[in-house]
Amino acid sequence: MKPRFKDVASVRTGLKKEKYLADDGIAGVVYLADRLGKPVLIEGPAGTGKTQLAKSVAEMTGARLIRLQCYEGLDESKALYEWNYKKQLLRIQADKNSDSWSEVHDDIFSDEFLLTRPLLEAITSEEPVVLLIDEVDRVEVETEALLLEILSDYQVSIPELGTITAKQIPLVFLTSNNTRELSEALKRRCLYLHVDYPDLEREKEIVVTKVPDISDNLADQIARIVRSIRQLDLKKAPSVSETLDWARTLMLLGIDTIDETEAKETLHILLKYQTDIAKAAKELSVAK
């Protein structure tokens, strides 16, 4: 398969066109994932752009994005495939006078009755695909083993149909918020990328890029205040997406210079726990 990217610089430039500001570390891992045919495991705090990276790579390459949202209880029938039992039953009833059960059996266990789920959809697609396996740390160990089996060889064994091998190797991104430790086997199979909160200048640049018509002065104030709030002992630090929500809120309110009162009155946009809001409000009063 033809490489998707010329070099690391082209990845970074392509992502910037999609308004995703990647450093050389992020761009380098995406480049290597394509060249080595390996999945990327992205870990880091919630709201730091892990999911958006996969979406932006799909947009920049023109590939189809297939997303598997992980959750506790996710099993093979929701992640990989299942049989359309209702349709099979109708076919059996229609062929109830058939003399050969083997013919009926072969008929109902064919592609026509197969319901593909995200994993099987990704490896059977003939068009380029970016597969996003979001919040993989939420699934049980058994489901993680299923993912490992598929990502090792990019093939699926279906007892009734045999082995289905990928028609093209998708770019695969697995995200994790570190709610539990993933297996060494899964980590070994993937390239590893840690995405943390951006530094001051990068967060300011993200705000300027993502929020139309915002002034450089307001973006700088927002980045500095958010950075100081993240240093507090909070239940949940504000994510980058919440920083952007706050920036848009201040723009809608016509605020260009943030004072203590305006900051306190809009803290609920940044923070989602009352205890965190109280701590941040106290910090803003002290910093006055």
Q: Work out the number of other CB atoms within 10 angstroms of the CB of residue 179.
A: 9
What residues contact 266, with CB distance under 8 A and at least 6 apart? Answer: 246, 249, 250, 253
Instruction: Report the amino acid identity of residue 236.
Output: K
Per-residue pLDDT tens over the stretch 186-233: 999 999 999 999 999 999 999 999 999 999 999 999 999 999 999 999
Per-residue confidence (pLDDT) for residue 101, from 0 to 100: 54
Judged against a pLDDT cut of 60, whether residue 102 lies above it is answered with no
The third-level CATH classification (topology) of the domain covering 8-72+122-194 is Rossmann fold (3.40.50)
Per-residue pLDDT tens over the stretch 115-174: 889 999 999 999 999 999 999 999 988 888 889 888 888 888 888 888 888 888 999 999
Q: Where are the domains of the chain?
A: 8-72+122-194, 81-116, 200-287
Q: Are 196 and 177 spatial neighbours (Cβ–Cβ below 8 Å)?
A: no
Rounded Cα distance between 158 and 81, Å, is 9
Q: Closest Cα to residue 134, out of 54, 58, 73?
A: 54
